[in-house]
Each structure stands twice: as structure tokens, then as C-alpha cells.
């Protein structure tokens, strides 16, 4: 498995969760990374992206100010800290590798990504 997401679970509205994505990739630090989510019956949607260095980030408007994406290139890890969770954040969350190095508005497009991990379920109860 090249990308392994974990950290999902059940949390009450207003709570927090931190998702992790472990990458078994020798070239991990050469690429940007992103998080997407897919709610039941809905299309996969962009959540956040980070550049290869971690210096650039992009967020969906729906999570801006509540979620923080980060990475640790020494550990081949990407994280998504989720605070002030809402029931509408309920979804399966996926990490993915960007074909590029940067985090730009194009990071919101699924076609920008060439490698996807399995998802981790996040459920927010009201």
C-alpha cells in the first residue's frame, strides 16, 4: 500500500480529529499532497492541499479556518487536523499524491492527482 490514511472515527459536533496519511514512497518529498472527501451519495470533493515543502497550502472554502493540512517529509506523513467539526463534514476522507510540486487552485481538481490511498471514515454526530 503506497498511501495509507488513518485516524477517522466518530466525534460529536464541535469536536476534533486528526487524520494521518503514511506514504511508502521514496519520492514523497518531491510532490504536493492533498486530502479529499466523499460523502454517501455525493461526488468526491477537495478539502486541502499542501506543496512539497509544506510552505504552500490551499483549502476548500467549507473547511477554511477549521482544518489544517501539514506534512513531515522526514516521516513521509501528511496530516489533516480537523477542528470545530460539523455533521456535514461526515465523509470518507482520502489522501492523494499531486502530480505537481505546488499547492494552487488547480489542487482542487481530482485529475491533478495520480495516486490515491484508501479512505478513512469520519462521522460527526449532531
Query: Mind listing the pLDDT tens digit for each residue in 27-75?
Result: 899 999 999 999 999 999 999 999 999 999 999 999 999 999 999 999 9
1 band by pLDDT with thresholds 50, 70 and 90: confident
Look up cell 479512505; give the residue. Answer: 119
Share of the chain above pLDDT 70, in %: 100
> Tell me, what's the pLDDT at 102?
94
User: What whole-number distance in Å separates Cα of residue 52 and Cα of residue 40?
Assistant: 31
In this prediction, what percent of the chain has a pLDDT beyond 90?
Answer: 97
Interacting residues of 66 by C-beta distance below 8 A, sequence separation 6+: 82, 83, 84, 85
Amino acid at each position: 500500500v503506497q498511501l495509507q490514511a488513518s485516524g477517522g472515527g466518530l466525534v460529536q459536533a464541535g469536536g476534533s480529529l486528526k487524520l494521518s496519511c503514511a506514504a511508502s514512497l521514496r519520492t514523497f518529498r518531491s510532490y504536493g499532497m492533498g486530502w479529499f472527501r466523499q460523502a454517501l451519495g455525493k461526488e468526491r470533493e477537495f478539502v486541502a492541499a499542501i506543496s512539497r515543502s509544506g510552505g504552500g497550502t490551499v483549502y476548500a472554502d467549507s473547511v477554511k479556518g477549521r482544518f489544517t493540512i501539514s506534512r513531515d517529509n522526514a516521516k513521509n506523513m501528511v496530516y489533516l487536523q480537523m477542528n470545530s467539526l460539523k455533521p456535514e463534514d461526515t465523509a470518507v476522507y482520502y489522501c492523494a499524491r499531486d502530480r505537481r510540486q505546488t499547492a494552487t487552485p488547480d489542487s482542487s481538481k481530482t485529475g491533478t492527482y495520480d495516486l490515491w490511498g484508501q479512505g478513512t471514515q469520519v462521522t460527526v454526530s449532531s
